[in-house]
Amino acid sequence: MTSIGLKNSIRDACRAVRKARSIIVASHVNPDGDTIGSMLALGLSLIQLGKKVIFLSQDGIPTRYQFLPGSELIRSSASDTADISISVDCGSAKQLGSVQQAFFRSKTTIQVDHHDFGDAFGKIMVIDEEASAVGEIVYDLLRALKVEITPAIATCLLTSIIVDTGAFRFSNIRPRTFDICSRLIRKGVDLQHLIEESYWLKSRAAARLSGYAMQRAQFMAEGRLAYTWLTQRDFLRFKAKMSDTDGVADELRSIEGVKVAAVFRQAEDRSIRVSLRSSSGINIANIARVFGGGGHHNSAGCRIGGTEKDRRRLLDELSALVG
């Protein structure tokens, strides 16, 4: 989306928001800090504007983010309809999971997203692929709506940006990321505390299981491709949850010589969730897309079947990619 396109779509979104009385804000399944932070910042702002807001997340809110203001308002389903629905950080309608029904009951739908390789499903598309996190786009939207950015809203927006930039370390950061963060921090947010809570903090179980996954890592293509895996048995043995190991892919990618990293995590339904990371210059989202997933240039994911053959097929594609 061009910057003019973005401005126009923000204007259209503002118009729809001003007209609406009730609004659904919805996150993606297996929510991360970007989708949760963006949803809360947007929802709290809409409440400030006098709207009735329904916060929807199929999988509720991870314990890690329960400290965020407004988190107690999040529901996993809703029977009521709203005038408009807004999704945040969802690259496809499928990403909404079971809240899809409620979402599409609204006549007007707005998709606020930053995925490079997503599907268009909203009537109004507010897409900025250059944004490091959806929090950056929500910030633009709130400015256009003339919302007063309270410390609570600033906290949620910063959480979104901290999580999607790996606490300001990933290649998706742009100068504007810092411009926005600088303005948000000045609203009176304790940044150090926020990074600790939303990014660094992990349970012992999570640390041990991540270490286990790192220890069993395998290397292909002369060390340019690294991968590891975790089964349901591993999660049970370490008493850890799948979301406890979200950082493993980034850690694997940071090993010397590694250009592409893949983490295979077995879900409860036995399908395999694959997290992919690549160093700059290598587009990993294209491959994720071939396997029915999506994401960003350097961070993407997909789901594959549970057989050795399924895994092999993806690994072969990845090793061809790193040559």
Type of residue found at 83: D
In sequence order, what are the beta bridge partners of 275? 263, 301
Strands of 153-259 (E only): list them: 218-220, 225-230
> Shortest distance, CB of residue 88 to Mn ion, whole angstroms?
8
Applying CB under 5 A, the site for Mn ion has a residue count of: 3
Give the C-alpha distances (Å, rounded to integers) separating 116 from 36, 87, 266, 320: 20, 16, 26, 22
User: Which residue number, 82 or 96, has a Cβ lying nearer to Mn ion?
Assistant: 96
Q: Of 78-86, 96-104, 118-126, 159-167, which part binds Mn ion (CB under 5 A)?
A: 159-167
Binding mask 63-92 toward Mn ion (x if CB under 5 A, else -) reads: --------------------------x---
Number of residues written out for the chain: 323
Smaller CB distance to Mn ion: residue 166 or 306?
166
User: Which residue in the shown chain puts its C-beta closest to Mn ion?
Assistant: 34
Give the shortest CB-34-to-Mn ion separation in angstroms.
Answer: 4
89 or 140: CB nearest Mn ion: 89
* Single-letter amino acid code for the residue at 41: A
Figure out which of the listed residues 116, 136, 140, 164 binds Mn ion, where binding follows CB under 5 A: 164
- How many whole angstroms separate alpha carbon 237 and alpha carbon 289? 32
Contact between 136 and Mn ion by CB under 5 A: the answer reads: no
Answer yes or no whether residue 34 interacts with Mn ion by CB under 5 A.
Answer: yes
Can you say whether residue 50 is alpha, beta or left, with left for phi > 0 and alpha for psi between -120 and 50 degrees?
Answer: left
What does each C-alpha distance from 37 to 67, 159, 161, 164, 322 come to in angstroms?
11, 6, 8, 11, 34
Tell me if 244 contacts Mn ion by CB under 5 A: no
Contact call for residue 128 and Mn ion (CB under 5 A): no
Q: Which residues bind Mn ion (CB under 5 A)?
A: 34, 89, 164
